[in-house]
Amino acid sequence: MIGQNDNINLEILSRKKVLLGFYGLFYVAILVIIVAVGYSYLFKLESFSKDNLVPFGAQDTAKREADIPLVKGTVTPPVDLLKEVVSTPEKLAEGKKLFESNCVSCHGAEGKGDGVAGKTLNPPPRNFHDLKGWTNGPQFSNMYKTLHEGITARGMAAYSNLKPEERINIILHIRTFLPDYPAIDKNETDAVDKAYSLSKGVKLPNQIPVKTAEEKILAENDALNKKTETIANIIINNKTEKGAEIFRKISFDIKRSVTALANYPKWNDNETALVKFLSVNPETKGFKNSVSSITQDDLSVLFRYLNTLFSK
* Average pLDDT estimate for 78-105: 95
- Between CA 122 and CA 127 the distance in angstroms is 13
DSSP 205-219: PPB--HHHHHHHHHH
Confidence band, pLDDT 50/70/90 cuts, at residue 306: very high
Predicted pLDDT at 64: 47
Residue spans of alpha helices (H) in the chain: 4-51, 58-62, 81-84, 89-102, 104-107, 140-149, 164-174, 186-196, 210-237, 242-250, 254-263, 271-279, 296-310
Report the C-alpha dihedral over residues 189, 190, 195, 198, rounded to 10 degrees.
70
φ and ψ at residue 207, rounded to 5 degrees: -110, 120
**pLDDT, mean over the chain:** 82
Report the C-alpha dihedral over residues 216, 71, 161, 57, rounded to 10 degrees.
-60
- pTM of full prediction above 0.85: no
Looking at residue 99, its amino acid is: F
Q: Give the model confidence (pLDDT) of 181-214 as tens digits.
A: 999 999 999 999 999 999 988 766 666 777 777 7
Predicted pLDDT at 56: 44
Confidence band, pLDDT 50/70/90 cuts, at residue 57: very low
User: Which comes out higher in pLDDT, residue 38 or 87?
Assistant: 87
User: Which comes out higher in pLDDT, residue 5 or 106?
Assistant: 106
Comparing C-alpha atoms, which of 311, 310, 304 is closest to residue 231?
Answer: 310
Q: What is the DSSP letter of 86?
A: S
Q: Are 152 and 158 in contact (CB under 8 A)?
A: no
Q: Is the pLDDT of residue 2 over 60?
A: no
In order of 60, 64, 65, 260, the CA distances from 54 in angstroms are 10, 15, 18, 42
Q: Give the model confidence (pLDDT) of 140-172 as tens digits.
A: 999 999 999 998 888 888 998 889 999 999 999
Comparing C-alpha atoms, which of 137, 135, 157 is closest to residue 148?
Answer: 157
Q: Give the model confidence (pLDDT) of 225-283 as tens digits.
A: 888 999 999 999 999 999 999 999 999 999 999 999 998 888 988 998 898 899 888 99
- Between CA 139 and CA 116 the distance in angstroms is 26
